[in-house]
C-alpha cells in the first residue's frame, strides 16, 4: 500500500494508534465536548436523543479481501446513519469501537477513519465521530453507535402504518445484493476463499453494484423530510423490502400490499439501506420517494406482492443465512 510504513497494532501503543486514527478524522462537529476526554458531551436541543448501534464483524459482515479500509469505514457509518434517518431524525454524532488483530496495519485503521469521515461529510454533514474505544481481538470488529436529534418533531415509528396509506420507497433496491453476488460469483478461489477484486474485469453496471454493496449511500437527508411531510411509518430497508415491510406490517397490525417491481432482488436484496415509508392518501410524496404499494386492513398475510403472498422470507436473516455466505 502506498505510504504504508508497516506499523501494526501489535507493535504500537494505544496512544499511538489513537493518534493515527484521530489524525484522519475531522474535528468535532457540534459536540460541547468531543474526542479526548473520558466521554463526549452532546447538546440535546429539545431534550431528546435518538440512538442506534450496529456491529460489522469480519467474516459474516465483510471480507478484508474485498473491502478497503475506507470502504469499511464508510459502510460502518452509513448503516448507522440510515437507522437514525429512519426515525425521522438528523444524525449528529458517531461513536466507534474498534477491535483489531495485532497484525492490523495502522495505515488500514487510518483509512477506516477516513472512510468514517467521508461518510459523515457526504451523507450527514453536521455529524462527526465524537469518541469510541480501541482493543485487540483475533477478529476485526467495528461497532458504531450513532446519535441523532429530532429537532422538535415526533419520531416516526414502524408501527404507525394505517389502512389507506400509500407505501413509498426512497433509495436503491437490489443493487447491494447484486454487488454481493458479483463478489461471491467472481472473486473467490477454488476453495471458496475471497480474492482481491479486479475492477478492470467488471462492467460499469457490475462496478456500480459493487459500490452499492461495499460503500452504500442511503438517502439520509430524506428521513427528516419524510417526517415533515407527514409519514405515518418509516424504517430502514436493510434486510430486503419484503422482509422489512413484513416487520412494518406486523408492528402496525396491517397488511402491506406491494407492487411487483419485476426485479426479484428489489424485493429480497438487502443492504441498500433505502427508506420505506407510509404516507396518508392524498399527501404528495416528498421528492426522492416513489410509490411502492398501499396499506390495507390486516389479512391472512403481512405482505403481498402484486396481489399474492411472497415466496420465502424475502430477505436476509443473519441467523439463518450466515452459513450460505461462508467461504
Q: Return the percentage of the chain with pLDDT > 90, whole number.
A: 80
C-alpha 314/C-alpha 327 separation (Å) is 23
Predicted confidence (pLDDT) at residue 307 exceeds the cutoff of 60: yes
Domain 14-149 has CATH 3.40.50.300: no
Q: Taking phi first (over 0 means left), then psi (-120 to 50 degrees means alpha), and beta for anything else, what does residue 277 get? A: beta
Mention the CATH class of domain 166-317. alpha beta
Q: Mean pLDDT throughout 298-316?
A: 84
In the chain, DSSP assigns E strands to 50-57, 90-100, 128-136, 141-149, 166-170, 233-237, 254-258, 274-279, 289-297, 303-305
The pLDDT value recorded for residue 293 is 98
Does residue 317 have a pLDDT over 70? no
Supply the mean pLDDT for the chain. Answer: 91
pLDDT at res. 153: 96
Residues belonging to the binding site for substrate are 61, 271, 316
Q: Which range is least confidently modeled, 55-59, 186-190, 316-320?
A: 316-320
Question: What are the extents of the domains in the chain?
Answer: 14-149, 166-317
Q: Residue 9: its pLDDT value, please?
A: 81
| Most confidently predicted of 16-25, 119-128, 318-327 | 119-128
Lowest mean pLDDT among 44-53, 104-113, 312-321: 312-321
Distance CA 82, CA 235 (A): 9
For residue 40, what pLDDT is reported? 87
Angle between the N-to-C axes of helices 69-85 and 106-123, in degrees from 0 to 180, rounded to the nearest 10: 40
* Section 213-224 average pLDDT: 97
- What is the rounded average pLDDT of the residues 145-163? 97
Q: Which residues are annotated as a binding site for ATP?
A: 132-133, 158, 238
- Higher local confidence (pLDDT), 127 or 7: 127
d(C-alpha 311, C-alpha 113), whole Å:
41
For 27-36, the pLDDT digits (tens) are 656 788 888 7
Q: Identify which has the larger pLDDT, 127 or 29.
A: 127
CA dist 79 and 228 (Å) reads 22
Question: Is pLDDT above 60 for 319?
Answer: no
pLDDT of residue 21: 78
Q: What is the pLDDT of residue 15?
A: 77
Query: Which one has a higher pLDDT value, 16 or 244?
Result: 244
CB atoms within 10 A of CB 141: 18
Q: Are 255 and 304 in contact (CB under 8 A)?
A: yes
Residue range 226-282, pLDDT digits in tens: 999 999 999 999 999 999 999 999 999 999 999 999 899 999 988 999 999 999 999
> For 50-77, what is the mean pLDDT?
96
Quote the CA–CA distance of 80 and 151 in Å, as a whole number: 19
pLDDT reported for residue 323: 46
Annotated binding site: 38, 52-54, 61, 83, 132-133, 158, 236, 238-239, 271, 316
- Residues making up the annotated binding site for Mg(2+) are 38, 52-54, 83, 133, 236, 239
Amino acid at each position: 500500500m502506498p505510504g504504508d510504513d508497516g506499523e501494526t497494532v501489535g507493535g504500537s501503543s494505544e496512544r499511538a494508534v489513537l493518534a493515527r486514527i484521530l489524525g484522519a478524522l475531522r474535528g468535532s462537529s457540534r459536540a460541547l465536548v468531543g474526542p479526548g476526554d473520558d466521554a463526549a458531551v452532546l447538546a440535546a436541543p429539545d431534550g431528546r436523543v435518538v440512538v442506534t448501534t450496529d456491529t460489522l464483524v469480519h467474516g459474516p459482515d465483510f471480507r478484508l479481501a474485498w473491502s478497503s479500509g475506507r470502504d469499511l469505514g464508510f459502510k460502518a457509518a452509513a448503516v448507522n446513519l440510515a437507522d437514525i434517518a429512519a426515525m425521522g431524525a438528523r444524525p449528529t454524532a458517531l461513536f466507534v469501537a474498534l477491535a483489531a488483530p495485532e497484525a492490523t496495519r495502522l495505515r488500514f485503521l487510518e483509512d477506516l477513519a477516513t472512510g468514517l469521515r467521508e461518510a459523515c461529510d457526504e451523507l450527514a454533514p453536521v455529524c462527526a465521530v465524537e469518541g469510541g474505544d480501541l482493543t485487540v481481538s483475533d477478529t476485526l470488529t467495528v461497532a458504531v453507535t450513532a446519535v441523532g436529534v429530532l429537532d422538535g418533531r415526533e419520531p416516526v415509528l414502524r408501527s404507525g402504518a394505517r389502512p389507506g396509506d400509500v407505501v413509498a420507497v426512497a433509495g436503491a433496491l437490489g443493487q447491494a445484493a447484486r454487488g454481493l453476488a458479483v463478489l461471491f460469483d467472481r472473486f473467490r478461489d477454488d476453495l471458496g476463499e475471497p480474492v482481491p477484486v479486479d475492477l478492470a474485469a467488471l462492467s460499469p453496471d457490475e462496478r456500480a453494484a459493487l459500490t452499492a454493496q461495499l460503500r452504500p449511500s442511503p438517502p439520509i437527508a430524506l428521513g427528516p423530510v419524510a417526517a415533515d411531510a407527514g409519514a405515518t411509518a418509516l424504517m430502514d430497508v436493510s434486510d430486503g423490502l419484503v422482509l422489512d415491510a413484513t416487520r412494518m406490517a406486523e408492528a402496525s397490525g396491517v397488511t402491506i400490499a406491494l407492487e411487483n417491481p419485476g426485479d426479484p432482488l428489489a424485493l429480497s436484496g438487502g443492504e441498500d439501506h433505502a427508506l420505506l415509508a407510509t404516507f396518508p392518501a392524498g399527501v404528495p410524496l416528498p421528492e426522492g420517494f416513489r410509490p411502492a404499494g398501499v396499506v390495507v386492513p390486516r389479512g391472512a398475510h403481512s405482505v403481498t406482492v402484486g396481489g399474492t403472498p411472497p415466496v420465502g422470507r424475502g430477505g436476509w436473516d443473519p441467523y439463518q443465512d450466515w452459513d450460505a455466505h461462508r467461504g
